[in-house]
Amino acid sequence: MSSTTEAEAGRRPIAEGLFTWPDEEPRLIGSRCTACGEIAFPRKGACLRCTSTDLEERLLGTRGTLWTWTVQGFRPKASFGLPEDEEFVPYGVGYVELPGETRVEARLTESDPARLAIGMEMGLVIVPLWNDGEAEIVTYAFAPTKEED
Amino acid sequence: MGTQANGERVAIVGVGIYPHGRHPGVSASAMATDAIRQALTDAGVEWGEIDFAAGGCVLTGEEPDSLVGALGLTGVPFTNVRNACATGGAALLSATSALRTGHGELAVVVGYDKHGRGAFNLPPAQFGLDDWYGEQGMMLTPQFFAMKIQRYMHDHGISDSTLAKVAVKAYSNGSRTPSALRRTPMTEEQVASSRMISPPLTQYMFCSPDEGAVAVVLATERKAATLGVKPAYVRGIGLRTRSYGSLEVFSPSVPIAQTDSPTVPAARAAFAMAGLEPSDVAVAQLQDGEAGAEVMGMAETGLCKHGEQEALIQSGATEIGGSLPINTDGGMIAHGEPVGANGLRQVREIALQLRGDGGERQVPGEPEVGFTQVYGAPGVAACTVLATS
Question: What are the pLDDT tens digits along chain A (149 aa)?
Answer: 445 555 556 899 999 999 999 999 999 999 999 999 999 999 999 999 999 999 999 999 999 999 999 999 999 987 899 999 999 999 999 999 999 999 999 999 999 999 999 999 999 999 999 998 899 999 999 999 986 54
Query: For residues B229 and B387, what is the distance between their CA atoms, to the nearest angstrom?
Result: 14
- Chain A CB contacts of B131 below 8 Å: 15, 79
Packing angle of the helix pair B291-300, B263-274 (nearest 10 deg): 50
CA B306 to centroid of chain Cα atoms: 22
Is B134 within 8 Å of A104 when comparing Cβ atoms?
A: no
Give the CA count within 13 Å in the CB-facing half-sphere of B182: 23
Q: Which helix (H) or strand (E) holds B134?
A: helix B131-135
Any bridge partners for residue A140, and if so which?
A: A126
Is A79 within 8 Å of B131 when comparing Cβ atoms?
A: yes
Digit-coded pLDDT (tens) for B32-77: 999 999 999 999 999 999 999 999 998 888 899 999 999 999 999 9
Chains A–B, number of C-beta pairs less than 8 Å apart:
111
Is B147 within 8 Å of A38 when comparing Cβ atoms?
A: no
pTM over 0.90: yes
The answer to whether A6 faces chain B, any CB pair under 8 Å, is no
Facing residue for B147 by CB, picked from A30, A70, A100: A70
Query: For residues B338 and B344, what is the distance between their CA atoms, to the nearest angstrom?
Result: 11
Q: If you write DSSP's letter for every residue of B162-179 in order, what string do you get?
A: HHHHHHHHHHHHHTT-TT
- Chain B CB contacts of A47 below 8 Å: none
DSSP E strands in chain B: the ranges are: 10-21, 52-56, 78-81, 106-114, 196-198, 201-202, 211-220, 232-241, 253-254, 283-286, 369-376, 380-387
Facing residue for B147 by CB, picked from A79, A94, A100: A94
Is the CA virtual torsion A70, A71, A77, A82 positive or negative? positive
Mean pLDDT of B380-389: 96
Facing residue for B146 by CB, picked from A15, A70, A100: A70
- Nearest chain A Cα distance for residue B209, angstroms: 15
| Cβ neighbours around A106 below 10 Å, total | 26
- Chain A CB contacts of B197 below 8 Å: 73-74
Query: For residues A124 and A141, what is the distance between their CA atoms, to the nearest angstrom?
Result: 6
- Nearest chain B Cα distance for residue A16, angstroms: 10
DSSP E strands in A1-149: the ranges are: 11-13, 29-33, 39-40, 55-59, 63-72, 91-98, 102-108, 121-131, 136-144
Digit-coded pLDDT (tens) for B137-189: 999 989 999 999 999 999 999 999 999 999 999 999 999 999 999 999 999 99
Digit-coded pLDDT (tens) for B368-382: 999 999 998 788 999
- ipTM comes to 0.93
Digit-coded pLDDT (tens) for B289-339: 999 999 999 999 999 999 999 999 999 999 999 999 999 999 999 999 998
